[in-house]
């Protein structure tokens, strides 16, 4: 059996949905540009450098979800998809996902970005399964806190194993497993699959992929 996993940001998307969501809220006047734009860029730079404190970032990123009713958040997300996300989905990315969904027994998007932001994006790609960082909800409203293990670095391996168990599966059930990613932050999950694939990799991941003989592709 074949398992196919995709990172989302800068892999299937030509950009970062987490970063773009915060920028969208700033552009809408929901968040104060003077303070939020600098912090958003600072966290993004820390991520790229491999120095991100995921819990500090989630405190920043999930806080706006707790400030507004879900109906308003959903309305903003429709605009966000049209303005920020759809232009960042290439035809090549769509083809790769469509082929994988048709060929694999199980396929999922695995992302550190929270599921509120990414669930509609997964649906746009036609991927039924999403393994993402989960924002806590109480009574149908977000609390601004994270629920469970963040889907980040080693947490991606943990969360995928939990998701497989929920499907009645184990890693050992799959003779072939693939994971597509752009980031060195995803090395733990890339090392877990049988076929790691670097997509437009950052410099540290490119060096690791070249040293280990991993496939390197560009979805242009």
Say if CB 8 and CB 121 are below 8 A apart: yes
pLDDT in tens, 104-161: 999 999 999 999 999 999 999 999 999 999 999 999 899 999 999 999 999 999 999 9
The predicted model scores a pTM of 0.96
SS3 annotation, the chain: CEEEEECHHHHHECCCHHHHHHHHHHHCCCCCHHHHHHHHHHHHHHHHHCCCCHHHHHHHHHHHHHHCCHHHHHHHHHHHHHHHHHHHECHHHHHHHHHHHHHCCEEEEEEEEEHHHHHHHHHHHCCCEEEEEEEEEECCEEEEEEECCCCCCHHHHHHHHHHHHHCCCCHHHCCEEEEEECCHHHHHHHCCCCEEEEECCCHHHHHHHHHHCCEEECCC
Q: Which residues contact 13 (CB under 8 A, 6 or more apart)?
A: 85, 88, 89, 93, 121
Phi, psi of 199 (to 5 degrees): -115, 115
- The predicted pLDDT at position 207 comes to 98
- Tell me the CATH number of domain 2-214, given options 3.30.60.50, 3.30.365.10, 3.40.50.1000, 3.40.640.10: 3.40.50.1000
Local mean pLDDT, 10-residue blocks, the chain (220 residues): 97 96 94 90 93 94 94 97 98 97 96 98 98 96 97 98 96 97 98 98 98 94
Residues classed as catalytic: 7, 9
Domain ranges of the chain: 2-214
Look-up of token digits 């958003």: 40
User: What would the two tokens of residue 24 be?
Assistant: 């969208």
- The predicted pLDDT at position 101 comes to 94
CA distance 88 to 106: 25
């Amino acid at each position: 059996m074949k398992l196919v996993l995709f990172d989302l940001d800068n892999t299937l998307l030509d950009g970062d949905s987490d970063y773009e969501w915060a920028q969208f809220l700033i552009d809408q006047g929901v968040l104060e540009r003077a303070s939020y734009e600098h912090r958003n860029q600072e966290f993004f730079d820390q991520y790229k450098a491999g120095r991100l404190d995921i819990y500090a970032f989630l405190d920043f990123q999930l806080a706006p979800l707790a400030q507004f009713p879900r109906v308003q958040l959903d309305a903003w997300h429709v605009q966000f998809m049209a303005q920020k996300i759809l232009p960042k989905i290439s035809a090549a990315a769509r083809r790769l996902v469509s082929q994988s969904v048709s060929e694999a027994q199980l396929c999922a998007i695995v992302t550190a970005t929270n599921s509120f932001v990414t669930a509609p994006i997964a649906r746009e790609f036609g991927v039924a399964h999403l393994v993402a960082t989960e924002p806590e909800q109480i009574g149908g409203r977000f609390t601004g806190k994270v629920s469970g293990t963040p889907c980040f670095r080693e947490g991606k391996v943990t969360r995928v194993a939990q998701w497989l168990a929920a499907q009645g599966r184990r890693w050992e059930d799959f003779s072939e497993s693939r994971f597509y990613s752009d980031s060195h932050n995803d090395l733990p999950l890339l090392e877990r699959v049988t076929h790691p694939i670097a997509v437009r990799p950052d410099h540290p991941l490119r060096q690791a992929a070249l040293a280990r003989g991993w496939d390197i592709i560009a979805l242009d």
